[in-house]
Structure 1
Amino acid sequence: MWVVPESAIAGLMTPEAAFDAVEAVFAAMARGEARNFPVVREAIGHADALYGFKGGFDASGLTLGLKAGGYWPNNGKHGLINHQSTVFLFDPDTGRVSAAVGGNLLTALRTAAASAVSSKYLAPEGARVLGMIGAGHQSAFQMRAAVRFGDFERVIGWNPHPAMLSRLADTAAELGLPFEAVDLPRLGAEADVIISITSAFEPLLMDGHVQGPTHIAAMGTDTKGKQELDPALVARARLFTDEVAQSVSIGEFQHASAQKLISDADVTALGQVIIGRHEGRGDAEVTIFDGTGVGLQDLAVANAVVELAKQQGKAVQVDI
């Protein structure tokens, strides 16, 4: 078994490699060559933590495995980030474990890559203003990926706790872009692409906030009850996601679905756009990508990083 520790990931996985891996796995899902297994995600009744498993099998890349981990909201007092996970890969021919990979940075990179892939295919033409909702740990990764694969000229942002906006300002400065903190009505009116990455349990971005051609990447909702968007906004948009069943059950579209404002048939897997079976944005004013986070994304980036680690002598081989 190969082991790639968390400490080695930053020197191995690039945003470009994460983007390519996520785009490819979305396409494989759309072609029916890859499938995700049912998600297990539970409150464990200790440390306010959510813990679970996401797994799947990609026959096109012969990638089989799972990610185990979750969200520990009190990890700051331990000097750790709240999201903790490890990816395990298995040999699809024998079932033997083939790799264990630190999943914290990989999760941030693949989540950012997913929203960037959605913007590539769904953003309005000439998108220049990036709107950020949320300033937590993953927001910097989201901004870097969006700017790397887009052509933005400025960034505007909002966060429930304004003191945290310095993370967005610092990241924008690192990218050479001006940043301005704004309220949500202004963000919805001015941003061409909006990325929401919060842990909210009630809508933040309302239908009336969003004006003009806009693409929204809703990346924060991955659990029953979480919510970032007004269901009325979801109902008037053209809807895309990583996996439809997951989106309407634990993703952002769960609320509009429960209220019968949308049906499963109103939601399209992004992979269908990537492989040319769906027109994508078309004449829609607003598009929304619900990034619920699927196990196949984790497996794709983990598999890529294992190969890079082996090539560069940064993977450790152990017998089990």
Structure 2
Amino acid sequence: MLIVPEREIAPLMTRAAAFDAVEKVFAAMAAGDAYNFPVVREALGHEEALYGFKSGFDRAGLTLGLKAGGYWPHNLQARGLINHQSTVFLFDPDTGRPTAMVGGNLLTALRTAAASSVSIRHLAREDAKVLGMIGAGHQAGFQLRAALEQRDFNKVIGWNLHPEMLPRLAEIASEAGLPFEAVGLDRMREADVIISITSSFAAILGADQVSPGTHIACMGTDTRGKQELDPRLLARAAVFTDDVAQSVTIGEAQHAVGQGLIAEADLTELGAVINATHPGRTSGDQITLFDGTGVGLQDLAVAAAVVELAVAKGVAIEVDI
């Protein structure tokens, strides 16, 4: 079995490689060539942590495995560790034997950012100019950098429950030569693309705080009970997702479906747009929404790519188990 430690990931995996891997996974899922297994996601009752497993099998890429990990909200302040902790395990689909163990912390941030970035490429208006950010935690920076590569934005606006964290996003915007402004949620009406990436369990963005034509990538809701958006916003939008079953159970759509505002049949896999079996955005004033729940196949795809690169560069550790 090969081990690729967390410390080796950054030099190996680029945003472009993560984007390519995630886009291919979405396409394979929509074509029926790859599928995710049911997610296990539970509160531990210890350290207020959420822990679980995401797994799946890609027949086209012959990738089988799982990601184990979750969210420890006190890590950063109490231990100097990032709050999201995870590890990816890969298996040989022909024999079931373990083939690799890969540090999953950076990969999780990269694949999550890649997923929203893929949604922006395929669903946002081509003339989008203002990018809105809701959330300024560890993953927000990855989201911002990836999004800025998809459209010719000329401004970034941001909101966070703790506004003292927003300067880190301002620095990233400045690196890209763009102005940044901290705003109230009502100012999100100015945004052409909005990314929400929080750990909220209560709606943040209201249905009347989004303008026609906006694309929203809702990336923080991945557990039963979590919520970032007013459910009425999903009723206003064309809703796309990485995985419909996850979206209605642990994603943002769980609330809108539960309240009868939309039905499961109203959701479309983003991969169908990538494969050109669905038109995606149909007008300039249509609100499009991507419910990014985070699927195990994304983790497996980026981990498999990292293993190949690690072997080529001689940094993978081989162990006999």
TM-score, normalised on structure 2? 0.98
**What is the distance in 2 between the residues matched to 1:120 and 1:98?**
33
What's the offset of the Cα at 1:97?
Answer: 0.2
Partners of 1:285 and 1:26 in 2: CA distance: 22
State the identity %.
70
Deviation, structure 1 residue 125: 2.4
The residue number in structure 2 matching 1:113 is 114
The amino acid of 1:184's aligned partner reads: L
Residue matched to 2:225: 225
Partners of 1:79 and 1:270 in 2: CA distance: 36
Instruction: Report the residue type matching 2:297 in the other structure.
Output: L
**1:59-90 superposed Cα distances (whole Å, 9 cap, x missing partner):** 00000000001011111211100000000000
Equivalent in the alignment of 1:138 = 139
Match of 2:100 in 1: 99
Q: Which residue matches 1:209? A: 209
Q: Between 283-292 and 114-123, report the one with greater CA deviation.
A: 283-292
Task: Figure out how many residues of one structure are paired with residues of the other and give that number.
Answer: 319
Q: Distance in 2 between matches of 1:286 and 1:273?
A: 16
Corresponding position of 2:260: 260
In 1, are the aligned partners of 2:126 and 2:151 still within 8 Å (CA)?
Answer: no
Query: How much has 1:314 moved relative to structure 2?
Result: 1.3
Alpha-carbon separation, structure 1, partners of 2:33 and 2:50? 30
Aligned-partner Cα distance in 2 for 1:212–1:168? 25
The separation in 2 between residues aligned to 1:308 and 1:197, in whole angstroms, is 29
Aligned amino acid, residue 191 of structure 2: A
Match status 1:62 vs 2:66: no
Deviations 1:100-147 (A, max 9, x none): 000000000000000000000000120111100000000000000001
Counterpart CA distance in 2 for 1:307 and 1:151 is 33
The equivalent of 1:302 in structure 2 is 303
Letter of the aligned partner of 2:37 in structure 1? F
Amino acid at match of 1:7: R
C-alpha displacement of 1:316: 0.9
Q: Distance in 1 between matches of 2:286 and 2:150?
A: 22
Q: Pairwise CA RMSD of aligned residues?
A: 0.8
Q: Which amino acid aligns with 2:193?
A: V
Q: SS of the residue aligned with 1:56?
A: strand
Equivalent position amino acid for 1:148 in 2: E
Hey, what's the Cα distance between the residues in 2 that align with 1:150 and 1:70? Answer: 31
SS in 1 for 2:249: helix
- Give the structure-1-normalised TM-score: 0.98
1:150-206 per-residue CA deviation (whole Å, 9 max, x = no partner) reads 22111010001111111111111122211011111112x111000000111111111
Distance (whole Å) between structure 1 residues aligned to residue 246 and residue 198 of structure 2? 18
Distance of 1:38 and 1:186 partners within structure 2: 38
Per the alignment, residue 165 of structure 1 pairs with 166
Partner of 1:149: 150
Equivalents in 2 of 1:96, 1:297: separation in Å? 21
Q: 1-side partners of 2:43 and 2:208: how far apart?
A: 34
Find the aligned partners of 1:181 and 1:257 in 2 and give their Cα distance: 32
